[in-house]
Amino acid sequence: MKTLLKYLKPFYSKMTLGFGIKVLGTVIELFIPYILSHILANVKNFTMNEIVLWGSLMIVCALFSCVFNIIANRMAAKVSKNFAESMRKDLFIKTLRLSAAQTDKFTIPSLESRITTDTYHVHGFVNMMQRMGVRAPILLAGGILITMIMDFRLSLVMTAILPLIFATVYFVRKKGVPLYENVQKAVDSMIRVVREDSQGIRVIKALSKTDYEHRRYDNVNRSLSRSEAKAGIIMGSVHPLMTIFMNGGSVAVISLGAIFAFKGKSEPETIIAFMQYFTQITMAMMAVTRMFVMYTKCSASARRISEVLNAPEEIKTQNEKDFPAIKTDAHIVFDKVCFSYAGKKNNIDNISFSLKKGESLGVIGATGSGKSTLIKLLLRFYDVNSGNIYINGKDIRTIDKKDFYSMFGSAMQKDFLYAGTIEENIDFGRKIPFDKIKTAAKIAQADDFIEGFADGYGHILSSHGTNISGGQKQRLLISRAIAGNPDILILDDSSSALDYKTDAALRGALKETLLGTTLISVAQRVSSVKDCTLIIVLEDGCVIGMGTHEFLMENCPEYKEISDSQMGGAFVE
């Protein structure tokens, strides 16, 4: 809950003012039953003007109480809205800044539910706390105090049930927080399945697996329902128990009040006022119960939010004293680089190579050989376990993040297009002039099909680019990577959906136009990398061949086998 207090701190002054207005309105409300008892006690001695005066005073108190509560509630709504907006914004920013390892640990579905469902629970509690967090205790304490002054004996009946209520609240809270944490974990699982199915809907339909996915969704849905039911049974027991306690107290007050009135030890108007106050106290206790239920959800959600917000920054800019620069004329240097995702077997093992500015590197190998991992290390999505990666002689761990990522343009294997125009997707918020966007599209062999649309670069793409073909999507992603005029261009299996002719035209255009850009191409096709200055063949994270296409054809049987199996050793130019 410390995280909540940090985000509430800027709103303390507004909350204090709102609490003050709420206190004033609640205190005024407490006087209404007292005024009623005064009227009933003295009605025989009042003139008509006095009755109208006291009656008008009750109406004024009710109106002022209503107005003050409305004002305070509106202020509470505004504070809780701004508070949740600020927290949700920081949570989203933090989510984007998590390292790849941290994202893997939290999982994308869990991060999504923390930004949505968990912030909703916290927002609801903060709103309820401002609305009822002051009013309910004042009604409760004020009602008990006034009734003790009016009739000490009847007041003891009401206070006798409070220990039972507090014990119930304590027990249910202790059981409720872990249960709601389990509910949120079940929500994470359901979001994961929904997310996977929505992204893979075409494959599901193509393979006629809708029934299978229905069963998979039913499993996580039933798991969520069981978790919610278990939490609901525990938390739902609070309201009935409170009702029993409060109704029992009400019956006791009425019974004793009747006996006292019959014996002349208490006045009827006092009993009436007592029932009014008892109603207020009952409503206050019910409000406290609702706040308690919401607090239980909020506590579980706040803990999950804090885990993300307080996650340490793993990918930090390091000191050059710890990772000194080297003297080299190479643009990119990998020096004995090793890396493991799980910390057991190396996924990348002892890889070393260097590239001069403007040269090109091709990386090829079987699925799972470590090709994409190599790119992730160069982009510093993960830090190496041992060895060093240098750009212009500087260890990449010492380069400022903003400067570092501005060097790159990348079209990754699982990049995305969002709902918007083609121009917006290529620009990607970088405010690139249109002529450069068009030039990048021409290099990526995308301009022809873009101009084929009636609205050209203003053509609206659906989310994930589902209204264009796979090859068109890849060419737009390559256009995006080129448009920023990067020092290092990374194409990670980004031309797999292109036909051989288009792929050859793309490689030719890159070679002719991006003379000062260092190109790194990860591919399954030998034809996509054969013209690279340096080609690396990977197998199980190790280099089994390195050199030019001609050298590897003669000295690397695995590379020659891949080449022969794809095109019989021939290539389409």
pTM above the 0.85 mark? no
Mean pLDDT for 502-517 is 86
Average pLDDT over residues 416-440: 90
Same domain? 362 vs 298: no
Which of 309, 342, 364 is a domain's end point? 309
Please name the helix (run of DSSP H) or strand (run of DSSP E) that holds residue 561, with its range, or none: helix 557-567
Q: Are residues 228 and 155 in the same domain?
A: yes
Residues 397 and 297 in one domain: no
**Same domain, residue pair 257 and 383:** no
292 with 201, same domain?
A: yes
Q: How confident is the model at residue 471 (pLDDT cuts 50, 70, 90)?
A: confident
Question: Is residue 378 a contact partner of residue 412, using CB atoms and an 8 Å limit?
Answer: no
Q: 285-294, 333-342, 550-559 — which is least confidently predicted?
A: 285-294
- CB of 137 within 8 A of CB of 285? no
One domain for residues 467 and 561: yes
Please report which residue ranges of 200-267 form alpha helices under DSSP H. Answer: 201-206, 210-236, 238-262
Average pLDDT, integer, range 555-559: 89
**One domain, residues 86 and 178:** yes
85 and 221 both lie in a single domain: yes
Q: Which among 157, 175, 160, 138 is positioned nearest to 292, based on CA atoms?
A: 175
Residue 19 resides in a domain: no
Residue 36 belongs to some domain of the structure: no
pLDDT at 568 over 70: no
- The CATH code of the domain that includes 183 is 1.20.1560.10
What band does 571 get if pLDDT is binned at 50, 70 and 90? very low
**How many domains does the chain contain in total?**
2
Q: Which of 276, 309, 342 is the last residue of a domain?
A: 309
Q: DSSP labels for 390-455?
A: EETTEEGGGS-HHHHHTTEEEE-TT----SEEHHHHHHTTS---HHHHHHHHHHTT-HHHHHTSTT
446 and 347 fall within a common domain: yes
Q: Is a pLDDT exceeding 60 seen at residue 558?
A: yes
Is 61 among the domain residues?
no
Position 504, amino acid: A
Among the ranges given (133-142, 148-157, 432-441, 459-468), the one the predictor scored with the smallest mean pLDDT: 148-157
Q: Is residue 168 part of a domain?
A: yes
In a shared domain, residues 337 and 305: no
What is the CB-side half-sphere exposure of residue 121 using CA atoms within 13 A?
25
316 located within any domain: no
Does residue 27 belong to any structural domain of this protein? no
Top-ranked range on mean pLDDT: pick from 152-156, 386-390, 569-573: 386-390
User: In angstroms, rounded to a whole number, what is the distance separating the alpha carbons of residues 191 and 273?
Assistant: 53
Domain termination site, one of 294, 309, 324: 309
| CATH code for the domain in which residue 413 is found | 3.40.50.300
Q: Given this model, what pLDDT does residue 569 score?
A: 46
φ/ψ (deg, to 5) at 331: -80, -50
Q: Decide if 250 is inside a domain.
A: yes
345 and 215 together in one domain: no
Q: Is the pLDDT of residue 179 over 80?
A: no
Higher pLDDT, 216 or 435: 435
The answer to whether position 376 is within a domain reads: yes
pLDDT at 333 over 90: yes
> Average pLDDT over the chain, rounded to whole?
84
Mind listing the pLDDT tens digit for each residue in 62-117? 898 889 989 988 998 899 999 989 999 999 999 988 888 888 888 888 888 888 88
Range of the domain at 340: 332-567
Quick one: 354 and 485 in the same domain?
A: yes
Q: How many CB atoms lie within 10 A of CB 409?
A: 21
